[in-house]
Amino acid sequence: MKNTIIVLFILTLFMSCGGTKRIIENTPKTAEVAVSTTPKQPEQPKQPALPEKPNSVEKIEPTHTEPIQQTTTKVIEANVENSIKTTKEAFNHDAWNTLLQEYVSNKGNVNYNGLKSKRKAITNYISSLGDNMPSNSWAKADKIAYWINAYNAMTVDLILRNLPIESIKDIKDPWKQRLWKLGSKWYNLDEIEHQILRKMDEPRIHFGIVCASFSCPKLVNEAFTASNLETQLTEATRGFLSDPKRNNLSTNSIKLSKIFKWFAKDFKTEGSLIDFLNKYSDISISNTAKKSYKDYNWSLNN
pLDDT, tens only, 126-160: 999 999 999 999 999 999 999 999 999 999 999 99
Q: Where are the alpha helices (H) located in 27-88, listed in sequence order?
A: 30-37, 65-86
Alpha-carbon distance of 245 to 236, in angstroms, equals: 15
* pLDDT value for 88: 81
Q: What is the pLDDT of residues 91-127, one digit of tens each?
A: 999 999 999 999 999 999 999 999 999 999 999 999 9
Instruction: With a cut of 70, say whether residue 11 has pLDDT above it.
Output: no
**pLDDT value for 34:** 37
- Give Cα 52 distance to the centre of its chain: 50
The one-letter amino acid at 177: Q
Give the model's pLDDT for residue 3.
Answer: 52
- DSSP-derived secondary structure letter, 292: E
Task: Return the pLDDT at 283.
Answer: 95
- SS3 state at 161: helix
CA dist 17 → 3, 13, 23 (Å): 22, 6, 10
Mean pLDDT score of the chain: 82
Q: Residue 41 above 80 pLDDT?
A: no
Which residues, 6 or more positions from 236, have their beta carbon under 8 angstroms from its beta carbon? 204, 207, 208, 217, 220
Q: Are strands 180-182 and 248-249 parallel, antiparallel or unpaired?
A: unpaired
How much is the average pLDDT of 210-222?
A: 97
* pLDDT beyond 70 at 254: yes
- CB 214 within 8 Å of CB 301: yes
Length of the chain: 302
**pLDDT level of residue 52 (50, 70, 90 thresholds):** very low
With CA atoms as reference, report the closest residue to 223 among 102, 113, 130: 102
Percent of the chain at pLDDT exceeding 90: 71
For residues 290 and 267, what is the distance between their CA atoms, to the nearest angstrom?
A: 18
Write the pLDDT tens digit of every residue in 264-277: 999 999 999 999 99
Spatial CA neighbour of 196 closest among 144, 245, 123, 155 = 144
Which residue type, as a one-letter code, is found at position 131?
A: D
